[in-house]
Amino acid sequence: MARRVALVSITLTLALTAGCADPPTQQVQDAEKALKEAQESGAATYSAEEYAKLEGTLAAMRKEVSDQEGKFGLFRDYGKAQELSASAKAESDRIKAASVQKKEEAKAAALQAQQVAEEAVRATQDLVAKAPVGKDRAAVEAIKNDVEGLKSLLKQVQASIDKEDFPAAQTQAKAIHDMSQGVSTEIQNALAKVGRGKPGRKK
Amino acid sequence: MGAVYISRTVAALLCTAGLVGCVQAVPPDLIAAVEAIDQDLIALHAPETAPEEYRQFVRQWALLKARTQLDDDVIRWPWESGDLENDIRWLYVMGERTVSQLHDRQVSQQRATQDKVTRLESQLHSIAARIEAIDGRILLGEKGVQTDLFVKQARSYLDQKDYPRAMQAAEKADHALKAQASLLSQELGRYADDNRIIYWQILAKQTIEWSRTHQATAIVVSKAERELSLYKNGRKVLSYPVRLGFNGMLEKQFQGDGATPEGRYHVTDRRGQGQTQFYRALALDYPNAEDRRRFQLAKRSGKIALSRGIGGQIEIHGADNERLALTLGCVMLDNPNMAVLYESVPVGTPVTIVGALSKQNAVASALTQFDRGKEEI
């Protein structure tokens, strides 16, 4: 009889011990860390849809862990939580890589636009040096004023790049390029009308 | 026989019940419908333009999907109520509502942004033309190109369907346009100041009166009207259009400001061919005593840097096809007109330069239009 009682006790203890599954703490932490890294890589901006879904998966994982923790030890099963954390981790890594790439592409596009704008402003500046005066002195000074303004605007492009706001940098650079071309056309028209001359004097 | 029949019937019923009970927790078409809502939200750029709404939707959907996968392992009787299915149906309804709201919001945002950007472009175009007409472009400094940049950025974002950014850029353009109008009012407000105009009218009248009483020639230049008039014996004998310094509408304060001085001057020298680079020139006695007094006062009050000079060599001259130096503040005429004027004007002729002679001058009306535009903005 005593032997039977002992056997039952051992069996129950074993069952209870085996049933008290531990939460996948490390895996959950890894998934959380991977999400943070994805966020830091700019995923919310460059992979907005996927990042939102990833956050959803993490929320489901946390809920699942919490649900299991709320159960009686013998009935806890962290299999689904493990599955979700593993999938979130893998997805985070993928999204992070994709975001880094998209960000690099946006940066490259912004830098390219910046370069084109800088060249356009430089070309306009060169044209201004050849600008005629003739009857349009005020116009030429206004053009010079605009070119100075454009040079100053180029600093804003750099500021946007520094802030990693590449879409803003790109639109700014494109606008500056267009404006430079407008000013160049204005000078070319003046050149065509008046031609070149000799330097004047101060007043 | 009867017992066998009963046993078979019971077995058949149990099998049927078992099979019917092995139904999926959520109908696949419901899942497909929610997935379709997700696609609709993506098509509406919800992750970028309505991140909070989209985040809420996908969060719910991820939680429900996880529950769906867990429930796949559970055998449910057909008569059991499906909480999960109800929750997914609720998400579907909410998702549909979000799609509809986002769609409406985007249509309205698109319309509002489109209207605003188009209005700004038209205002900028019209203001630029008016500024050009009164030579006010330089007065604006970098404000002009800055405003242009904002408007172009707004258009660019609008073309990319990024309405929030387009609206943001449009708001900045709005402020920049208002700042332009304010700056112009501040710098050129005296052209709309009745008292100032009366003072200028008195100056001109006195000059004309001097011409009459001394039976001599006199010149009156009105900057806003861009007109030079020659009087002989108190009668206007000719009027010519003129061009001014690049900042000609301003009152000259120091060397290099490009402004044309205002006040009473005299022709101090007549410069013919070979004596001037400007075809013909009539040199004026700028700066006169009043200019010097004003200049010193401005320096003492800190309005002008101590390093600045008062400038000089202000002339009424003809045109020459030459490259421009940094600063100019003269009164320029076309050469044929200059030739006539040069022949009519002796040294000592009084020259009165005023801002405007009428209250309805070009600058005042441009300023009124800017103010109207500012209200419209």
Residues A90/A94/A100/A106 CA torsion (nearest 10 deg): -150
Is A109 in the same domain as A188?
A: yes
Give the residue from A40, A67, A102 where a domain finishes.
A102
Q: How many distinct helices (H) and strands (E) make up chain B?
A: 11, 8
Report CA-CA distances (Å) from B155 to A136, A153, B163, B279, B312.
31, 17, 10, 47, 46
**pLDDT band per the 50, 70, 90 thresholds, residue B180:** confident
Q: To probe the interface with B, which of A137, A160, A165 has the most B CB atoms within 10 Å?
A: A137
Max mean pLDDT among B127-136, B156-165, B251-260, B273-282 falls in B156-165
Q: Does A11 map to a domain?
A: no
Distance from CA of A169 to the nearest CA of B (A): 10
- Cβ contacts of residue B65 below 8 Å, gap of 6+? A60
pTM higher than 0.80: no
Specify if A134 maps to a domain.
yes
Residue of A50, A87, A203 to mutate, interface with B, max B Cβ within 10 Å? A203
Return the domain boundaries, chain B.
1-192, 194-360
Give the sign of the dihedral formed by CA B83, CA B88, CA B91, CA B97. Answer: negative
pLDDT at B116: 95
Q: Which pLDDT score, from 0 to 100, does residue B319 have?
A: 79
Rounded to a whole number, what is the distance in Å from the CA of B250 to chain A's nearest CA?
13
Residue among A138, A145, A179 minimizing CB distance to B141: A145
Token pair 């050129």 in the structure block, residue? B188
End-to-end Cα, chain A, rounded Å: 122
Same domain for A72 and A143? Answer: no
Task: State pLDDT tens for residues B330-348.
Answer: 888 888 999 999 999 999 9
Could you count the other beta carbons within 10 Å of the beta carbon of residue A61? Answer: 29
Establish if A153 belongs to a structural domain: yes
Least CB-CB distance to A49: which of B47, B165, B313?
Answer: B47
B337-340 contact pairs (CB < 8 A, 24+): B337/B240, B337/B241, B338/B279, B338/B280, B339/B279, B339/B280, B340/B238
User: What is the average pLDDT across B293-315?
Assistant: 87
pLDDT for res B25: 65
Q: Are B328 and B315 in contact (CB under 8 A)?
A: no
Among A102, A126, A147, the domain-final residue is A102
Neighbours of B93 (CB within 10 A): 11
Residue B62, judged by CB atoms within 10 A of its CB (0-12, 13-18, 19+), counts as buried
Q: Are residues A78 and A153 in the same domain?
A: no
Name the average pLDDT for chain B.
85
The CATH number that domain B194-360 falls under is 2.40.440.10
Beta-carbon contacts of A45 under 8 Å, excluding residues fewer than 6 positions away, are: A99, A103
Residues A114 and A185 in one domain: yes
- Residues A201, B323: C-beta atoms closer than 8 Å: no
User: Do A187 and A117 belong to one domain?
Assistant: yes
Q: If pLDDT is split at 50, 70 and 90, which confidence band does A55 have?
A: very high
Q: Identify the weakest region by mean pLDDT among A74-83, A127-136, B211-220, B263-272.
A: A127-136
CA distance A147 to chain B (A): 9
* Least trusted range by pLDDT, from A113-127, B88-102, B177-191: B177-191
pLDDT attached to residue A196: 46
Structural domain total, chain A: 2
In tens, the pLDDT along B129-158 reads: 888 888 788 888 888 889 999 999 999 999
Token readout for A114 is 């910046």
Q: Give SS3 for A70.
A: coil
**ipTM confidence score:** 0.74
Query: Looking at residue A200, what is its pLDDT?
Result: 41
In this structure, the answer to whether residues A78 and A98 fall within a common structural domain is yes
Q: Which of B91, B124, B145 would you mutate first to test chain A, the one with the most A CBs within 10 A?
A: B145
Does A137 contact B245 at a Cβ distance shorter than 8 Å? yes
Q: State the pLDDT confidence band at B3, using cuts at 50, 70 and 90.
A: low
Q: Once rounded to an integer, what is the mean pLDDT over residues A98-110?
A: 95
- All residues of chain B having their beta carbon less than 8 Å from the beta carbon of residue A149 are 141-142, 144-146
Q: Is residue A14 part of a domain?
A: no
The C-alpha of A6 sits at a distance from chain B's nearest C-alpha, in angstroms, of 36
Q: Which chain B residues are Cβ-neighbours of A190 within 8 angstroms?
A: none
Out of A86-95, A133-142, B352-361, B363-372, which region has the weakest mean confidence (pLDDT)?
A133-142
pLDDT at B38: 96
Residue A185 and residue A108 share a domain: yes
Contact state of B246 with A140 under an 8 Å Cβ cutoff: yes
Give the Cα separation of B177 and B377 in Å (integer): 8
**Confidence at residue A121, expressed as pLDDT on a 0 to 100 scale:** 93
Q: What is the pLDDT of residue A199?
A: 39
A43 and A94 together in one domain: yes
Chain B contacts in chain A segment 79-138 (CB below 8 A): 80, 84, 131-135, 137-138
Q: Do A127 and A168 reside in the same domain of the chain?
A: yes
Structural domain that includes position A147 = 104-194
Answer yes or no: do B324 and A200 touch at CB < 8 A. yes
Q: What is the pLDDT of residue B9?
A: 67
Shared-domain flag, residues A161 and A187: yes
Per-residue model confidence (pLDDT) at position A110 = 96
Condensed to tens digits (0 to 9), the pLDDT of residues A1-34 reads 556 666 566 655 555 555 566 888 999 999 999 9
Residue A200 lies in a domain: no
Question: What mean pLDDT comes out for the span A39-49?
Answer: 92
pLDDT of residue B198: 96
Residues A174-202, mean pLDDT to the nearest whole number? 72
CA distance A8 to chain B (A): 31
- Does a structural domain hold residue A8? no
Residue with tokens 């799609």: B99
pLDDT of residue A15: 52
Task: Report pLDDT for B21.
Answer: 47
pLDDT digits (tens, 9 = 90+) for A107-128: 999 999 999 999 999 999 888 8
Has residue A3 been placed in a domain? no
* pLDDT value for A103: 94
Share of chain B above pLDDT 70, in %: 86
- Lowest average pLDDT, out of A110-124, A151-165, B289-303, B319-333, goes to B319-333
**What pLDDT score was predicted for residue A20?**
63
What's residue B13's pLDDT?
A: 55
Claim to verify: residue A88 and residue A111 sit in the same structural domain: no
Give the pLDDT confidence of B204-216 residue by residue, as tens digits: 999 999 999 999 9
3-class DSSP assignment, residue B236: strand
- Residue A157 lies inside a defined structural domain of this protein: yes
Chain A residues lying within 8 Å of B135, measured CB to CB: 138, 142
Question: For residue B326, what pLDDT is reported?
Answer: 33
- Same-domain pairing of A38 and A92: yes
The answer, yes or no, to whether residue B375 has pLDDT greater than 70, is: no
